[in-house]
Amino acid sequence: MSDDLDTQAHTLLETAAKPVRRVRPRLARQLAEGQDLEVETPHGPVMAWRLGVGPATLLVHGWEDDNALWSPLIDECAQIGRAVVALDLPGHGYSLSEAHSPDAAADAIIAVAKALGPIDTLVAHSFGCPASILALSRGLQVDRAVMIASPAPRTGDQNWFGERWRQRQLGRGWEPEVIDRAAEIMRARLGSTAFPHAEAEAAISGMTARALIIHSMDDEQCPVGNSQAMAAQWRGAELALVDGLGHRLVAQDPAVIERVMGFLEDFG
């Protein structure tokens, strides 16, 4: 294997494994009226916001997203006086930290909860789900947790550096031999599954918070089987399957938000 090929493969991994930031970070309009705080984490500073007083719902966005995902849910919380805390995960939005691993995200969630608590509930989307599960397994305590469109536990063809990943890199102009070498490197680092959320997967069965798990049947990024498997492993979890909302819209759909609010407030 040539040094040049390895160099290109490492360059691919450095670029493809990092989230792409927006040119201009976004802020949910409601959060402009709340408290903002730069929170130090073991991986650098992240930005977080609190709106309202008392026990709050912590909102954790997904990969290449930010706090603005939660604008519709923040509106509903504000109407009933429920406080919210939102953050931009490391490597995202207004957060200066360039870290982007599940570990870094989990550490940021814990740090923000300590800095802007009290926190009594949590809502997470996509990559935010395994990151939140890691945080919960490491001491974060909430009464209720909502997991939306989770990539973990993996089901079906979800080798993180498998065929779907390969096709994305081909579409970005990388040569096949460079892609294949990059996948080999990552499998050697992570093991045969090459899946970065293995620790979170193992922690699901030990979760104690009441859980609502939501997934759209037509999710184009994360198979619905993920949430079905999570619900089977998370003791006492409720599973809510919807359709026609894809991967991101499911976190902003009015009917889904109504279900989330009912679960957080224990009504409906």
Taking only the tens place, the pLDDT of each residue in 125-181 is 999 999 999 999 999 999 999 999 999 898 765 555 667 678 878 888 899 999 888
For the chain, the C-alpha Rg in angstroms (whole number) is 18
Exposure on the CB side of residue 168, measured as CA atoms within 13 A: 13
CATH number, domain with residue 128: 3.40.50.1820
- Amino acid symbol at 184: E
Write down the pTM of the prediction: 0.87
Task: Determine if the peptide bond prior to 42 is cis (ω within 30°).
Answer: no
Rounded alpha-carbon distances, angstroms, from residue 126 to 22, 49, 151, 209: 18, 20, 6, 19
For residue 228, is pLDDT > 60?
Answer: yes
Smallest CA-to-CA distance from 176 within 163, 159, 194 is with 163
Binned at pLDDT 50, 70 and 90, residue 190 comes out as low
Contact criterion met (CB below 8 Å) for 28 and 86: yes
Number of domains the chain contains:
1
User: What's the pLDDT tens digit per position in 207-216?
Assistant: 999 999 999 9
**β 119-125/56-60 pair status:** parallel
pLDDT in tens, 39-80: 999 999 999 999 999 999 999 999 999 999 999 999 999 999
Q: Is the pLDDT of residue 188 over 80?
A: no
Q: What is the mean pLDDT of residues 1-25?
A: 82
Quote the CA–CA distance of 268 and 106 in Å, as a whole number.
31
User: Order of strands across the sheet with 119-125?
Assistant: 35-39, 46-51, 83-87, 56-60, 119-125, 144-148, 210-216, 238-242
Range of 217's domain?
A: 3-265
DSSP class of 158:
-
- pLDDT one-digit tens code per residue, 231-255: 999 999 999 999 999 999 999 999 9
